[in-house]
Amino acid sequence: MLGKRSIKLTLFLVILQGLLFAGNPILPPGVFMADPAAHVWNDTLYIYGSVDESTDYYCSYRYHVLSTVDMKHWKIHKNVFHSRAEKDQVPYSDALLFAPDCNYRDGTYYLYYCQPDWENAEGVATSKSPTGPFKNGRKIDVKGYNEIDPCTFIDDDGQAYYMWGQFSLKMAPMKANMIEIDTAKIKTDVITEDEHYFHEGAHLVKRKDTYYMIYTHFGRADRPTCIGYATARKPMGPYEYGGVIIDNDHCDPEVWNNHGSIFKFKGQWYVFYHRSTHASRKMRKMCIEPIRFNPDGSIDEVQMTTQGVEESVDVFSRIDAARACLLHGDQKIISPASDQEIITNIRDGDKAAYKYLDFKDGVTSVSVRIKSNSSPGTLILAYDMPWGPDNIGKIPIENTNNKWRTITYNLDSQIQGKHTLWLQYYCDDDGRAEIDWFEFSAE
């Protein structure tokens, strides 16, 4: 058997090689990516997105790409494009790189990027590989409509379209070179905030004879926390409002936006989106949920989960607390180390949810790695709903003087099957707690 040191070394090497595993978020601790644009080429799913690195500003000066062949094992391709420093491929601007997209034609992959440089907002770079490196960034002339969030779509007849913008979506046919648009045919107000709750982040796909415009939806919580959609019979509309696909409200106390895409991979459609972390609008993690189309073409709204594309979360494996899909209260997720994420600033009454855990035929105990400066405290493990008598344990938490302790507790009642798990913390003072991970046992 492998010792703890060997296991840690093995995990380090797996991450170093870029292999990630299923479940939400799909990124390892310490890696933050947002604005996922999904595409499938040669039986491989690729996700293009912005890279977050600071709570002081959005995004960064580089892009990564994620890829998978089975939705369980992921590879991260780092630093495929840069806008400054030694690997600079944008000679005309050193601005940050906001949300990207990518497309393919005739042996070339085209990476579409945007920057908060309002005279040079839209650009494109090229590569012979879907994972780059992408080079030779050049501006796209959008006739003064310098905004953000580019997306491209190639229709069945081979005609490509370019779309971008905030509040009012702009769209135009592309020329055959995939670098220029037909500026004489730019259409504004393809979808709008007033009619479709459009905020930004458009992504276009076609299913059967219907075009689905996916976008950041500003219709709930006075924030653009949703991924919404509208449908049309032609790529440039008119579009009819469809509804919400997913809402990331309560993934973080400071959540602001959502941004994503939908795509079909090996017979299943998925929504790709992001969640905020670090109690910041500017630090985000990519996530995935399966979606379903109804016979009339509408899309059912799905909820955020910890399991993601898996059927459930295995409770007999160590579960990082930072995989919570809902956070209520003042608590937040942070990275105390480059390979670690925890929930911190947990105060009296704070709750975190994990959906859905498979307790199989039952569990008897739980181990929790926790630290606290409050005394006394109680960690309640509730299931299904965060209120009422349905709980499997009330773990007393003593003041650990802010030092990590692993507490093992024999559960008070039996639980079987698949449930939402809520971790609820209570204390008698204004103290704080932190949780690193938890793990169940049936022994």
Break the chain into its structural domains and give their ranges: 20-290, 313-441
- Give the integer Cα–Cα distance in Å for 356 and 325: 10
User: 10 pLDDT band (50/70/90 cuts)?
Assistant: very low
Per-residue tokens: 302: 């799905």
Please, which residues have CB within 8 angstroms of residue 393's CB and are 6 or more apart in sequence?
366, 380, 381, 409, 411, 412, 413
pLDDT digits (tens, 9 = 90+) for 310-348: 999 999 999 999 999 999 999 999 999 999 999 999 999
pLDDT at residue 18 above 70? no
From the centroid of its chain, how far is CA 326? 14
CB 212 within 8 A of CB 206: yes
Domain 313-441, CATH homologous superfamily name and number: Galactose-binding domain-like (2.60.120.260)
Domain 20-290 -> CATH class: mainly beta
> What mean pLDDT comes out for the span 349-376?
95
Q: Which of 92, 138, 87 is nearest to 117 (CA)?
A: 92
Angstrom distance (rounded) from CA 116 to CA 118: 6
| Mean pLDDT value of segment 92-106 | 98
- Pairing mode of beta strands 313-314, 351-358: parallel
User: What pTM value is reported for the model?
Assistant: 0.95
Q: How far apart are CA 173 and CA 181, in angstroms?
A: 6
* pLDDT tens digits for range 263-283: 999 999 999 999 999 999 999
Asked if the domains 20-290 and 313-441 are classified in one and the same CATH topology, the answer is no
- The DSSP code sequence of 392-431 is EEEEEE---TT--EEEEEE-SS---SEEEEEEEEEESSS-
Nearest-angstrom CA–CA distance, 370 and 405: 6
In the predicted structure, residue 98 carries a pLDDT above the cut 80: yes
Residue (of 170, 174, 150, 148) closest to 161 by Cα position: 174
Residue 390 has what pLDDT? 85
Rounded Cα gap, residues 379 and 370, in angstroms = 10
Chain position carrying tokens 């993690």: 285
The amino acid at residue 335 is: S
- Quote the CA–CA distance of 58 and 41 in Å, as a whole number: 29
Residue 53 has pLDDT above 60, yes or no: yes
Torsion from C-alpha of 382, 383, 385, 390, nearest 10 degrees: -70
Residue type, 356: Y
